[in-house]
Amino acid sequence: MDLRNRRAVLGAIAVTALAGVTGALSVRSQPSERVIRVRAYKFSYEPNEIVVKLNEPVVLEFTSSEVVMGFNAPDFGTRATIIPGQVSRVRIVPGKVGTFAFHCDVFCGDGHEDMDGTIRVVA
């Protein structure tokens, strides 16, 4: 086989291999994460009930315009400090159906103890 034919064969093999790898990567790609925006204010979250699907990757984006607040979801093993004027992000992937509580874990004034909500995971 001469040099020109050898290059053509090797080029065809490389293109075929690359096409196979590209196809495999697209099959394995993660589903896009759903983003839920949550506003924290004295003394509530909006929304205070968040509904997500089982095993659905979700990013919760928290904002506040008042004082430093917190988000703590013990059943998901996650928390965040919410600083006014900034976005705080928490990623969860619910692995169990049910209703799970979250609350503010940074004292933000009288009424702080009532600052809570739920994450409801549905099948």
**Across residues 3-11, what is the average pLDDT?**
49
Same domain, 86 and 117: yes
Q: What is the CATH number of the domain that holds 86?
A: 2.60.40.420
Same domain, 78 and 98: yes
Per residue in 50-85, pLDDT tens? 999 999 999 999 999 999 999 999 999 999 999 999
Confidence check: pLDDT of 13 > 60: no
Total domains in the fold of the chain = 2
> Which pLDDT value is given to residue 14?
44
Same domain, 22 and 49: no
Give the pTM: 0.72
Confidence check: pLDDT of 111 > 50: yes
**Close Cβ partners of 40 (under 8 Å, ≥ 6 residues apart):** 62, 63, 64, 69, 71, 82, 104, 115
Same domain, 52 and 110: yes
**Domain hosting residue 9, numbered range:** 1-30
Cα 1 versus chain centre, distance: 55
CB atoms inside a 10 Å sphere around CB 60: 24
Query: What are the phi and psi torsion angles at 22 (to 5°)?
Result: -60, -40
Same domain, 26 and 38: no
The confidence band for 6, taking pLDDT boundaries of 50, 70 and 90, is low
User: Which of 25-29, 31-35, 67-71 shows the highest mean pLDDT?
Assistant: 67-71
**Across residues 77-99, what is the average pLDDT?**
98
Buried b (16+ CB within 10 A) or exposed e, 110-123: eebeebebbbebee
